[in-house]
């Protein structure tokens, strides 16, 4: 009888150990997928950081009265670059940079000569392409992140996640200002 009890305890411990290892490995794979998705997005963000000084330099040639807008773009770029990682500060920095770039492009509309400049057109096209790539990589990142966050928050996996120290990451979302409808006035 003692042998059966000992065998049952050993089987239960083995099942628990297997669950422990399987959950840990699942969380590691999910976290690696999140990191890979963020790294992909980070490549596009870096390319945007590299493009911004060129765009600002071209706009500067035409819009000497828009120094505040140019300074905001460069300041937002610096803030976004210094935030690092996939935390709330990085998301806020990227949203601030997107808003300031939108302001810069809106200001450029006031300068017909700038809009006709070949280098500006090229940089604007490249920026547009990068923004599309960033949007797609954000979508991929958020999808992978959803799997990770769900994986560490559902029961009973959340118990193992708490033991291992796995924490949820924030989604890369647009800001409240960017959610506002565009107002068209005639």
Task: Give the CATH number, domain containing residue 122.
Answer: 1.20.1440.20
Q: Is residue 184, in this structure, part of any structural domain at all?
A: no
Given a cut of 50, whether residue 182 has pLDDT beyond it is no
Lowest mean pLDDT among 45-49, 128-132, 180-184: 180-184
In a domain, 10, yes or no: no
Rounded to whole angstroms, the Cα distance separating 128 from 8 reads: 63
- CA 186 – CA 181 distance, rounded (Å): 16
pLDDT value at 87 more than 70: no
- Per DSSP, 65 falls in state T
Q: What is the pLDDT of residues 1-54, one digit of tens each?
A: 789 999 999 999 999 889 889 889 999 999 999 999 999 999 999 999 998 888
Segments forming the whole domain that contains residue 48: 31-173
Count: domains in the chain? 1
144 domain residue, yes or no: yes
Under the banding of pLDDT at 50, 70 and 90, the label for residue 177 is low
Q: Which residue has the higher pLDDT, 123 or 83?
A: 123
Distances (CA, A) of 62 to 3, 18, 104, 110: 88, 66, 12, 10
Please check whether residue 7 lies inside any domain of the structure. no
Q: Which residue has the higher pLDDT, 153 or 93?
A: 153
Q: Which residue has the tokens 């042998």?
A: 3
103 assigned to some structural domain: yes
| pLDDT, mean of residues 137-163 | 91
Tens digit of pLDDT for each residue in 47-85? Answer: 999 988 888 888 877 765 567 778 888 888 888 888 766
């Amino acid at each position: 009888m003692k042998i059966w009890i000992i065998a049952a305890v050993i089987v239960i411990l083995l099942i628990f150990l297997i669950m422990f290892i399987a959950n840990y490995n699942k969380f590691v794979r999910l976290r690696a997928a999140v990191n890979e998705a963020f790294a992909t997005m980070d490549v596009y963000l870096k390319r945007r950081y590299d493009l911004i000084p060129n765009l600002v330099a071209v706009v500067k040639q035409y819009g000497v009265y828009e120094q505040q807008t140019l300074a905001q773009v460069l300041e937002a770029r610096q803030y976004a670059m210094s935030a690092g990682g996939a935390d709330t500060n990085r998301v806020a920095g990227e949203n601030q940079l997107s808003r300031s770039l939108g302001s810069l492009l809106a200001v450029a509309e006031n300068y017909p000569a700038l809009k006709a400049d070949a280098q500006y057109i090229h940089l604007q096209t490249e920026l547009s392409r990068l923004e599309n790539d960033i949007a797609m990589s954000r979508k991929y990142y958020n999808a992978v992140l959803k799997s990770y966050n769900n994986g560490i928050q559902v029961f009973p996996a959340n118990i193992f996640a708490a033991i291992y120290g796995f924490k949820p990451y924030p989604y890369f979302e647009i800001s409240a200002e960017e959610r506002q409808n565009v107002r068209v006035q005639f």
